[in-house]
Structure 1
Amino acid sequence: MTGARAHDLILLAEPAMLLTGTEPDWVSRSLAAAPWVVVRRATAPPGLLAVGVRGAARHERHAAHIPQQAAARLVRPEDLRTGDGTGTGVGTDTGGAERTAALKTLCEVRPVLEDTACLWGPVGSVGFEKATGRPATTPTSDLDLVIRTETLPTARWASGIHSRLSRFPARVDCQIETPAGAVALAELAAGPPRLVLRTSSGPRLLTHDAVNALAAAQACHWSHRDALGVRERP
């Protein structure tokens, strides 16, 4: 599995490989219905991926590790950005693009985010539903999004996007994902002197410039590893 990142969704080749007998009962039922897991923002031993299993209830989340070869397919948020789910052709119709406010909002935010020229896509319940074809959103679901950037945009840029994303039927919760980690769009838009950067080793409080320096260093590290043929990314 090449370059899996936080929020990517993975279709398991053998769901039973994840089961150890110590997990809650709902985990096996969930995997039987939809053998998909989401890549977590966490460190993992060499050759393994940190993933999470999503259950039917909001509190049903299970952390696990899988061998990289257990992944039959990887779907990124940016593959699912079209409102009708045709980003990659994965999944099936779950009742129309407007089944819930969150799905309707995915259709409506597309022009705003396409204007940024950045990679972006849905995560959370909307992303899971689009990838798996199984209903996961509810009438009260937020639309969770990620915007992929190599460096952290300015507060002014973030403020403009945040303002435009505040006008839709469902609440939009967006993160800016850099090679160093993620920053909440709303926080970046507010322009504080320091930002909470979510990393695989935990949150860090850094200045805007420090986040960009770390992102540049991480991107360089990835390029060096790829040149050496080391494919997994932290």
Structure 2
Amino acid sequence: MTAVRPHDLLRLTRTRGIVPADAPGWVAPALEGAPWVVVRRNGVRDDRIPVGVRGSTRAQRFALDIPADSVAEVLAPEQLAARRGRVRGDLPAFRALHAVASAIEEATCLLWGPTGSVGFELAAGVPVVTATSDLDLMVRSAAPPPRAVAVRVHDALGRLPARVDCLIETDEGAVALGELVFSAGDVLLRTPAGPRFVPAPWRETG
């Protein structure tokens, strides 16, 4: 199976035998209706992939591990960005998605893609995005981009028609774009071993 990374959407070959007995009652029906899960950041161990199941409400989220051989398809956020022409209706998050390409690509050539509800809908085809949904984004960069690039991207995203939450995914972990732009001290780095604070990459150079 292709290596998976946080935010990847996985389509399952089966749901039986995957949901633990102590799972909330909504989990199994949710997977039967849309057999898609999102990869969590914990890291693959012993051919078990840590994933999250999405329910019909914001409160319905469930974490579990699935066997690697139960995965039929892997869609990365970058691949979902190419599906933005398939969005449903004229919701603010979808209008923002259409504008993201120019907003990011004018400032950087880094790869990006939608996560969260927009990414899930583009992968699973299930209408989960609402009029109040944020647009969650991932930008992939081996290391944090130069401060000038981060500022340009942040400013461009702030002008979009929906609130945008953007994570910069680096080789060491993920950090929120807003923290990179505004923090003069430590920033929170999300890693497979858990979150930790690290110095802002340009703290000493300004």
Normalising by structure 1, we get a TM-score of 0.81
What corresponds to 1:69 in structure 2?
A: 69
Q: Per-residue deviation at 1:15?
A: 1.5
Query: What residue number does 1:95 align with?
Result: 88
Opposite residue 195 of structure 2, the aligned amino acid is P
CA contact 2:183–2:200 (8 Å) conserved in 1: no
- Match status 1:34 vs 2:34: yes
Aligned pair 1:171/2:163, yes or no? Answer: yes
* Partner amino acid, structure 2, of 1:170: A
Letter of the structure 2 residue corresponding to residue 54 of structure 1: R
Aligned equivalents of 1:137, 1:27: Cα separation in 2: 19
Determine if the alignment matches structure 1 residue 108 to structure 2 residue 99: yes
Number of equivalences: 200
* 1:156 positional shift: 2.3
Tell me the secondary structure at the aligned position of residue 26 of structure 2. helix
| CA–CA separation in structure 1 for the residues paired with 2:93 and 2:68 | 32
Structure 1 distance, partners of 2:44, 2:66, is: 9
Gaps of 5+ in 1: 86-93, 211-234
| 4+ residue runs over 4 A deviation | none
Contact conserved, 1:13 with 1:70, CA < 8 A, in 2?
A: yes
Given that 1:175 and 1:185 are in contact with CA atoms closer than 8 Å, whether structure 2 keeps it comes out as yes
* Contact 2:104–2:156 under 8 Å retained in 1: no
Structure 2 unpaired stretches of 5+: none
RMSD: 1.6
Corresponding residue for residue 56 of structure 2: 56
Which amino acid is 2:132 matched to?
A: T
Deviation of 1:95 after TM superposition, in Å, equals 3.2
Counterpart of 2:172 in structure 1 is 180
Q: Percent of aligned pairs with the same residue?
A: 44
The answer as to 2:184 corresponding to 1:192 is yes
* Deviation of 1:208 (Å): 3.9
Structure number having the greater helix percentage? 1
Instruction: Measure the CA separation in 2 of the matches of 1:121 and 1:9.
Output: 12
Deviations 1:125-160 (A, max 9, x none): 000000111111111110000000111112222111
The code of the aligned residue for 1:81 comes to A
For 1:159 and 1:120, the matched residues in 2 are separated by 16
Residue 45 of structure 1: how far off its partner (Å): 2.7
Deviations 1:183-203 (A, max 9, x none): 000110114232110111211
- For 1:17 and 1:10, locate their aligned partners in 2 and report how far apart those are by CA, in whole Å: 17
Match of 2:13 in 1: 13
Q: Is the 8 A contact 1:17 1:66 kept in 2?
A: no
TM-score, scaled relative to structure 2: 0.92
